[in-house]
Structure 1
Amino acid sequence: MVDNDPYDGDDDDDAGFDDDVADSDYNDYDEALDENPDEEGKWTAGLNVLLGLWLIVAPFVWDAVVAGDIWADGVFGGALAANPWNDMVVGAAIAVLAAYNFYRAANEEAISVGVASLVALLGLWLVVAPFIYDTASALSFWNDIVVGALVAILAGYNIYTARDVEETTAAEA
């Protein structure tokens, strides 16, 4: 019986196929599409993680600054207003999504354009949210606008670099 299967795991094919070469060519192509050897976008994703964590903590910090006591009439004095909840939920989402892209970049994989786009949209939402929800103070109002703009800019840069990495590696493959 003639052994002509190039992918059967043995290297003694009668047709002259080398299983190791066939497997490595396929794997090299797959790895080239996700390759990011310069870890582009790693630090901008990391900054977005920190900004997301800041958004989770910010309602408590601004309440302490404005009211003088974190247990005063603000955050814990009754039902939470919508804007602090918005900051905490959106901040957690930004932190988790940006951490995913940081992890990918740290492992020399291309950053996910979809995840970075979602982070950018969340940043833009933060810019709009203080105009929709009441804020406890001018500090929290401007905090949302500035942090939202920074998140959107950093995520936009991640989108740009991720598309650049994808185009470069696809052209090399």
Structure 2
Amino acid sequence: MHILLAPAKIGAGMFAAESHTSRHHIAIAAMACLCVLLGGPSCAAGAESLIIAGATYYEPGASGPGWAWTDAGHLELDGYAGEAIGAEGDLVLTLAGQNSVTESHAPDADITLCGMEAWGNLTLRGTGTLTATGSQCGIHISQALVVDGCTVDARADGA
């Protein structure tokens, strides 16, 4: 989602403010409303949770074979070969070595039929590779995908 904010002129007759202080309060209230409408400062905070190989993690600092969730907005893969990875929110994924994620095909999985998904923005970077395979898509992103310096092979193997 892109939001374009353009400067606008407000005529003197639109707000009947009695003093500089009341105009200041109106400006602060308008800014607060705009922050709420745009999602506030938390929208750039990173992933709220990660699903890795069927397990859900809510706090950074978790790790396993070939992966480490270093902070809310950053996951590192180095030789990961396992089930699907999902992020609730924005995520930067740094790749080292060869990595692969494959849809688990589990009927009760919390992730869609993709090898990798992010419900936010996803940045893939580093010197490594990622092969993502799912029955409906290799990688599903709800907002923007950025690939920087790494090799990505995303495939759907089903219908």
Bigger proportion of residues as strand: 2
Question: What is the TM-score with the length of structure 1 in the denominator?
Answer: 0.28
Q: Report the structure number with the largest CA radius of gyration.
A: 1
Structure showing greater relative contact order (alpha-carbon pairs closer than 8 Å, 6 or more residues apart): 1
Question: What is the TM-score with the length of structure 2 in the denominator?
Answer: 0.29
Bigger proportion of residues as helix: 1
